[in-house]
Amino acid sequence: MEKDLTFEILVEEFNKINRSRLTLKNLKREKIRKEFACWLQERMKYGYRYLDFLCEMNEHILERTTAEVGKTEYDSLVLPFDTTIISPYEFKELDDRERLINSKFMVYEEKPVLYFDRQEQPTPVVIQEQGINTFMTQNPYSPYSTLYWHDLHNSGHFDIAVGIYGSIYDRNIREKLIIMKNLKEKIIGDDYKYDFNCDGDIYFAALVSDRKIKKMKFKTR
């Protein structure tokens, strides 16, 4: 994937949060580039405080059997840990390349699926012996990012951990809360946790599966 795609998605997030019109071309200006870099650093501080919140809900969330899905190396929360990463974006600073599955991700017929651009058909995620049994993401870039994630949970074979966080002054809180509401309404049963909290001017919300996992293996095609 091209580096510009990484910054393109992050600029879109900046604009949603601030109701601004920043463009990739604007980032060539030093003052704006510094402002954008400071914004990224601030969001990462929020993110790690959210991660503390998430770990209180699931103390095993950062293990290798968890895969963080769909984030860039500038807003991923699992880089310092052992967690698997599934992302279509570049991770140039990641030393352990075996942690990275460089692919798009989707849920199809209650199964986690990888989708490589050069393939005509999706490829089922290979659940290795240690098993990827939990899929996590935070601050989804769009409602489609977590489309059918409820099916992963409802299948009984996988856990999910979907969350949002940011400043209480962000301009897109309502849209993110709607994503969480829609996900929660599609969960069957009560084998999950949902929590919303504020710490000063930072807010957190997360929905986390809360049950014993049944592991499933898929054969590669």
Answer yes or no: is 93 within a domain: yes
Residue 217 within any structural domain of the chain: no
Is residue 221 a part of any domain in this protein? Answer: no
In a domain, 68, yes or no: yes
Check which CATH number belongs to the domain holding 154 and give it.
3.40.50
Tokens of 46: 């929020």
Chunk the chain into consecutive blocks of 10 residues (it has 221) and report each block's average pLDDT, rounded to whole numbers: 74 92 86 91 96 96 94 96 93 88 89 75 61 94 94 94 97 96 96 96 97 52 37
Would you say residue 112 lies in a domain? yes
pLDDT on residue 97 = 85
Closest by CA to 67, choosing from 56, 59, 78, is 78
Range of the domain at 115: 3-209
Q: Is residue 216 part of a domain?
A: no
Say how many domains are in the chain: 1
Helix, strand, coil percentages, rounded to 5, for the chain: 35, 25, 45
Look at residue 214 and tell me if it is in a domain.
Answer: no
Q: How would you list the strands of the sheet with 192-199, edge to edge?
A: 100-102, 84-87, 66-69, 134-138, 159-167, 202-209, 192-199
> Do the domain assignments include residue 219?
no
